[in-house]
């Protein structure tokens, strides 16, 4: 059984760690509230932007657009959105594994990492991770970052460097429910079963898509960045709360062990005193 000094040192160490966890919990909770407000504003516009270009891709003549025309798939780009840091439960692992599972063997995948964790994950697996990567977007999300990612994808797509593109992000449902998703964004594919208004385009549908796709896709990527940010902060808050409870249990067990050890020492000393008194009689 460990000594009282060792147990006391362990209790102090765990209490110090618990204080750090409580602080991180409070910081994550504060960031979560800000991120949720941003998401509530961005999400409707993000979803509507994709609906517009998907519906437009079903209009007559849209197939002439470079963004709608399907090609033989040889190179596929994956934008994988993860966090820059750990201590957020399985958030990073879930999205990177989901992205990896969606990749088809035999195709040349080009991975654009958003976040340090996705870059490290695919580098370890010797995947083709592009030098173009983005960090620092999990805490502070700006539209300009999404626009930069979108423009890079479109340049690669128009140049023929990639034949299709996917966004891997984490969808926020509730504070306790986060769903990793992989969504195809290029070429644009509409749902024939969904109804859409008959709209006239001036000068034509191809010209409209040429202007609309970069703007709408940038807004959609901005929405995925905002959703992933909310999920990361929620996962970190839950993880720190769980760690705090575990620390409390460890402290209780160590305190009980310390008290038993001290009681044993006191009992032993009493027995020695009694034995000595009896020996003097």
Q: Answer for the pair 132, 111: CB distance below 8 angstroms, yes or no.
A: no
DSSP letter for each residue of 175-226:
TTEEEEEEEEEES----TTS-------SS-HHHHHHHHHHHHHHHHHHHHHH
* The two structure tokens encoding residue 34: 């800000």
The answer to whether 139 touches 214, Cβ cutoff 8 Å, is: no
- Record the tokens describing residue 196, joined without a space: 């859409």
3-state secondary structure of 139: coil
- With a cut of 70, say whether residue 18 has pLDDT above it: yes
Residue 68 confidence (pLDDT): 82
Q: What predicted TM-score, i.e. pTM, was given to this entire model?
A: 0.84
Rounded to whole angstroms, the Cα distance separating 247 from 244 reads 5
The model's pLDDT over 28-78, given as tens digits with 9 standing for 90+, comes to: 888 888 888 888 888 998 888 888 888 887 777 777 778 888 888 888 889
22-238, superfamily in CATH? ATP synthase, F1 complex, gamma subunit (3.40.1380.10)
Is residue 207 over pLDDT 70? yes
Q: How confident is the model over 208-258, as pLDDT tens digits?
A: 888 888 889 999 999 999 999 899 888 888 888 888 888 888 888 888 888
The answer to whether the Cα torsion of 90, 142, 100, 111 is positive or negative is negative
178 phi, psi to nearest 5 deg:
-130, 125
In the chain, domain spans: 22-238
The reported pLDDT for the residue numbered 277 is 67
| Among 67, 232, 41, 10, CA closest to 139 | 232
d(CA 191, CA 10) in angstroms, rounded, equals 60
Q: CA 44, 45, 51: angle at the middle one, nearest 5?
A: 90
Q: Which two tokens stand for residue 276?
A: 């000595």
Cβ of 249: how many Cβ atoms within 10 Å? 10
Tell me the chain's radius of gyration from C-alpha atoms: 28
Whether residue 38 contacts residue 141, with contact meaning beta carbons closer than 8 Å, is answered with yes
Three-state secondary structure call for residue 79: strand
pLDDT digits 0-9 by tens, 88-134 = 888 888 999 998 888 876 568 888 888 888 888 888 888 888 877 78
Q: How far apart are CA 253 and CA 155, in angstroms?
A: 59
């Amino acid at each position: 059984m460990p000594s009282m000094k060792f147990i006391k040192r362990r209790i102090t160490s765990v209490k110090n760690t618990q204080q750090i966890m409580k602080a991180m919990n409070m910081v994550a909770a504060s960031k979560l509230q800000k991120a949720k407000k941003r998401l509530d504003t961005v999400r409707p516009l993000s979803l509507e932007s994709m609906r517009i270009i998907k519906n437009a891709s079903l209009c007559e003549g849209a197939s002439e657009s470079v963004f709608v025309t399907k090609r033989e798939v040889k190179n596929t780009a994956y934008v994988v959105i993860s966090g820059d840091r750990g201590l957020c439960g399985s958030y990073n692992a879930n999205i990177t594994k989901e992205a990896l599972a969606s990749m088809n063997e035999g195709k040349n995948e080009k991975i654009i990492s958003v976040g340090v964790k996705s870059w490290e994950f695919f580098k370890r697996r010797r995947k083709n991770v592009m030098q173009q990567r983005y960090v620092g977007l999990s805490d502070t999300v700006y539209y300009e970052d999404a626009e930069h990612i979108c423009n890079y994808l479109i340049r690669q797509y128009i140049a023929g460097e990639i034949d299709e593109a996917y966004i891997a992000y984490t969808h926020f449902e509730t504070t306790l429910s986060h769903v990793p998703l992989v969504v195809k964004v290029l070429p644009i594919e509409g749902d024939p079963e969904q109804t859409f208004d008959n709209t006239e385009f001036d000068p034509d549908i191809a010209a409209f898509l040429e202007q609309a796709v970069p703007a709408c896709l940038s807004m959609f990527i901005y929405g995925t960045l905002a959703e992933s940010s909310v999920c990361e902060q929620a996962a970190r808050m839950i993880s720190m709360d769980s760690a705090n409870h575990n620390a409390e249990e460890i402290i209780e067990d160590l305190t009980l062990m310390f008290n038993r050890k001290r009681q044993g020492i006191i009992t032993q000393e009493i027995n020695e005193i009694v034995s000595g008194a009896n020996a003097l009689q």
